[in-house]
Amino acid sequence: MNIEKIKKSIRNVPDFPKKGIQFKDITTALKEPEVLQEMVNLLYEHYKDKGITKVVGIESRGFIIGSILAYKLGAGFVMLRKPGKLPADKFKIEYELEYGTDSLEIHKDAISENDVLLLHDDLLATGGSANASLQLLRKFGNNPVYLSFLIELTELNGTSKLSGLEEIYSLVKY
Ligand code: AMP
């Protein structure tokens, strides 16, 4: 199994959810046992010696691989959720998407001073949601933050929006 095989298993859906968007559908990758295992294993190998104490997943596709990765790394898992879902005291931020706007929330007691964080989402497009997520994490202090994606759409140059990170790592690039 190599990156090309993972890439081939991701379905491209033109004009979804609106005209002009090339939607990268990971359902076709996730349903293949070997591809799922390989994606998790590659990320695990990359992060196993970095002292990650919490994986932070962005709702909702960041929860899938993010939580498996947290389990494998022996780290905790924290959810960045869409508004109105988290029940206790929280921080909130609004941000722009490749298509539309959205908000994210995190519980105020989700992160501790000594945590080393791995922020994870399925895909980096414009970098709007990753940047907003990072701003939320900065409300807790200056924890080291690693950032990972299954997919990066390089021509949108999302990484240029992101700073102050330990590292950005994407498994598959288009
Ligand atoms: P952005 O904030 O522009 O980097 O967009 C990233 C978020 O939007 C991720 O959570 C993705 O799930 C979703 N997204 C944006 N563009 C696409 C795309 N072309 N295919 C699949 N998901 C996308």
Model confidence pLDDT, tens digit, residues 57-93:
999 999 999 999 999 999 999 999 999 999 999 999 9
Give pLDDT tens digits for 1-35. Answer: 789 999 999 999 999 999 999 999 999 999 999 99
Closest residue (by CA) to atom 12 of ligand 1?
A: 123
CATH architecture of 50-173: 3-Layer(aba) Sandwich (3.40)
Is residue 98 annotated as part of the catalytic site, yes or no?
A: yes
- What are the pocket residues of ligand 1 if the criterion is a CB atom closer than 6 Å to any ligand atom? 21-24, 58, 61, 97-98, 121-130, 158
Helix/strand/coil for 74: coil
Of the candidates 137, 164, 144, the residue with the CA atom closest to the CA atom of residue 52: 144
Domain ranges of the chain: 50-173
**Dihedrals φ, ψ of 163, to 5°?**
-140, 165
Query: How far is ligand 1, taken at its centre, from the CA of residue 128, in Å?
Result: 9
Catalytic residue, chosen from 38, 61, 94, 105, is 61
| CA-closest candidate to residue 64, choices 52, 53, 51, 77 | 77
pLDDT at residue number 96 = 75
DSSP 99: T
Catalytic site includes residue 11: no
Nearest CA-CA partner of 118 in 133, 106, 96, 139: 133
Q: What is the DSSP letter of 85?
A: -
* Model-wide pTM > 0.85: yes
